[in-house]
Amino acid sequence: MNRNKTMEIGAAYVRVSTNDQTELSPDAQLREIKKAAKADGILIPEEFIFIEEKGVSGRRADNRKQFQKMISIAKSQPSPFQYLYLWKFSRFARNQEESMFYKGVLRKKCGVTIKSVSEPIMEGMFGRLIESIIEWFDEYYSINLSGEVTRGMTEKALKEGYQASPCLGYRAVGEGKPFLIDENEYKIVEYIHQSYHNGMDLSAIARNANLQGFLTKRGNRFDRRAVERILKNRFYDGMVIWKDISFHGQHETRQTVTSVFKDNQNRLQREYRPRNRREVSNCRHWASGLLKCGYCGASLVFNKAPDTGRHPSCFQCWRYAKGLHEESCSITARKTEDLIMESLRNALSMEEITYGYVPKPVILTMGEEEHIQAALSRISRKKQRIKEAYENGIDTLEEYHAGKTRLEKEQEELRNRLMDLNRCPARDKTADKLLLADRIRNVCDILSDPEVSYEMKGNALRSVVKKIVYDKQEGTMKFFYYISR
pLDDT tens-place string over residues 318-331: 888 888 888 899 99
Does pTM surpass 0.85?
Answer: no
Strand partners, 465: 481
Q: Is the pLDDT of residue 442 over 70?
A: yes
CA dihedral 116, 120, 123, 125 (to 10 degrees): -90
Please name every residue paired with 471 in a beta bridge, in sequence order, or none if there are none: 476
Average pLDDT, the chain: 80
**Tens of pLDDT, residues 243-266:** 777 788 889 999 999 999 999 988
CA separation (Å) from 439 to 107, 342, 436?
A: 68, 16, 5
| Residue 176, number of CB atoms within 10 A of its CB | 13
Q: Tell me the C-alpha distance between 198 and 36, whole Å.
A: 69
pLDDT number for residue 363: 46
Query: In the predicted model, is pLDDT for residue 153 greater than 70?
Result: no
Q: What is the pLDDT of residues 132-151, one digit of tens each?
A: 655 555 555 555 555 566 66
Q: For residues 80 and 166, give the distance between their C-alpha atoms in angstroms, rounded to a whole number.
A: 47
Contacts 24+ apart (CB under 8 A), 207-215: 207/281, 214/188
Beta-bridge partners for 293: 470
Question: Which pLDDT value is given to residue 94?
Answer: 65
The stretch 98-108 carries a mean pLDDT of 78
pLDDT tens digits along 20-36: 444 568 888 899 999 99
Question: Which residues lie across from 478 on neighbouring strands?
Answer: 469
Pairwise CA distance, residues 157 & 161, whole Å = 5
> How much is the pLDDT for 122?
55
Buried b (16+ CB within 10 A) or exposed e, 13-28: bbbbbeeeeeebeeee
Chain CA centroid to CA 22, Å = 34
Enzyme catalytic residues? 17
